[in-house]
């Protein structure tokens, strides 16, 4: 049973436009969420996080939105750049002890020039 | 400032063999977690080490074991390898144990192929 779902395996966006990556979760005890980006032959790198006490967090071109009632979060990238082409993972954690993160299966984003 | 380093980067084993993977955490981090990423899937939590003890464990059999050394580096051992153990094994370090919030810092991973 997947607790963190990313239902779009892939997404293609034109350079300069907005990229929206979605993530759904089933465990209502999750209280901290992160997005990671992964290039081939590299480990995942942290992008942005959001605590369950917030509904939005911004960092430059990246914004994460959290809708707790819908158990849904999304990552917006504006404007999208070709260097953003990578696999994006949504991850969630229950509680603040142990830092055991549950990852989604990932969405492959392709930004076309 | 060195990030998380893992070795070896690639290795090939045959069924039934044993493998040891190594990880050095990012400077200042004392907590190490191991994840398995199968092809086309997200990383899956194996276990976490803090103060040289296994603090949390995911849904993995006892064939998967680990160790953390006094310098915070860690090893992942897998015994009696199965074909299904073929995956990218990721090590991640994080802020001092018990800290709230904070993200994981990942190494580049060790790609294990079991034939």
Q: Is B93 on the interface with A (CB under 8 A)?
A: no
Residue A99 maps to which CATH number? 2.60.40.10
pLDDT tens-place string over residues A10-29: 999 999 999 999 999 999 98
Q: Show the domain range for A87.
A: 4-112
pLDDT tens, chain B, 115 aa long: 679 999 999 999 999 999 999 999 999 888 899 999 999 899 999 999 988 999 889 999 999 999 999 999 999 999 999 999 999 999 999 876 545 556 889 999 999 999 9
**Whether the predicted pLDDT of A88 surpasses 90:** yes
φ, ψ for residue B84 (rounded to 5)? -70, -5
Closest CA to A90 of A28, A2, A7, A4: A4
Q: Which residues contact B84 (CB under 8 A, 6 or more apart)?
A: B114
Nearest neighbour of B109 by CB, restricted to A43, A100, A103: A43
- Please indicate whether, in this complex, the C-beta atoms of B43 and A34 are within 8 angstroms of each other: no
- Please indicate whether, in this complex, the C-beta atoms of B4 and A34 are within 8 angstroms of each other: no
Q: What is the mean pLDDT of residues A45-55?
A: 93
Helix (H) or strand (E) holding B37: strand B31-37
Nearest neighbour of B56 by CB, restricted to A91, A98, A103: A98
- Please indicate whether, in this complex, the C-beta atoms of B42 and A104 are within 8 angstroms of each other: yes
**Domain count for chain A:** 1
Cis preceding-peptide flag for B8 (omega within 30 of 0): yes
Residue A30: list chain B partners with CB under 8 A. Answer: none
Residue B45: list chain A partners with CB under 8 A. Answer: 100-102
pLDDT confidence of residue B98? 47
Q: Is B7 on the interface with A (CB under 8 A)?
A: no
pLDDT confidence of residue A97? 57
Residue A34: list chain B partners with CB under 8 A. Answer: 103-104
**Whether the predicted pLDDT of A2 surpasses 70:** yes
Residue to mutate among B42, B48, B108, B109, with most A CBs inside 10 A, is: B42
For the domain spanning B5-94, the CATH number is 2.60.40.10
**Whether the predicted pLDDT of A98 surpasses 60:** no
Query: Would you give the distance in Å from CA A74 to the centre of its chain?
Result: 6
Token pair in block for residue A92: 């969630």
Query: Which residue has 């680990």 as its token pair?
Result: B66
Token pair in block for residue B114: 């079991």
Q: Is B94 on the interface with A (CB under 8 A)?
A: yes
Residue A99's pLDDT band, with cuts at 50, 70 and 90, is low
B108, B7 contact by CB (below 8 A): no
Domain regions of chain B by residue span: 5-94
pLDDT confidence of residue A83? 96
């Amino acid at each position: 049973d997947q607790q963190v779902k990313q239902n779009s395996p892939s997404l293609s966006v034109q350079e300069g436009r907005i990229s929206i990556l979605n993530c759904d979760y089933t465990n209502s005890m999750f209280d901290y969420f992160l997005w990671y980006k992964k290039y081939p032959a590299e480990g995942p790198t942290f992008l942005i996080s959001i605590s369950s006490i917030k509904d939005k967090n911004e960092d430059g071109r990246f914004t994460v939105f959290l809708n707790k009632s819908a158990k849904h979060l999304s990552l917006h990238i504006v404007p999208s750049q070709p260097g953003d082409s990578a696999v994006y993972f949504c991850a969630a954690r229950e509680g603040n002890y142990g830092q055991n993160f549950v990852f989604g299966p990932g969405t492959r984003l392709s930004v076309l020039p | 400032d060195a990030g998380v380093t893992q070795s070896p980067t690639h290795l090939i084993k045959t069924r039934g063999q044993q493998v040891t993977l190594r990880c050095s955490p990012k400077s200042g981090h004392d907590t190490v977690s191991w994840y398995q990423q199968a092809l086309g899937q997200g990383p899956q939590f194996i276990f976490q080490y803090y103060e040289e003890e296994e603090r949390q464990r995911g849904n993995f059999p006892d064939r998967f074991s680990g160790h953390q050394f006094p310098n915070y580096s860690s090893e992942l051992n897998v015994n009696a390898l199965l074909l299904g153990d073929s995956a990218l094994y990721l090590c991640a370090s994080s802020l001092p144990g018990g800290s709230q919030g904070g993200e994981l810092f990942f190494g580049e991973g060790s790609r294990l192929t079991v034939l």
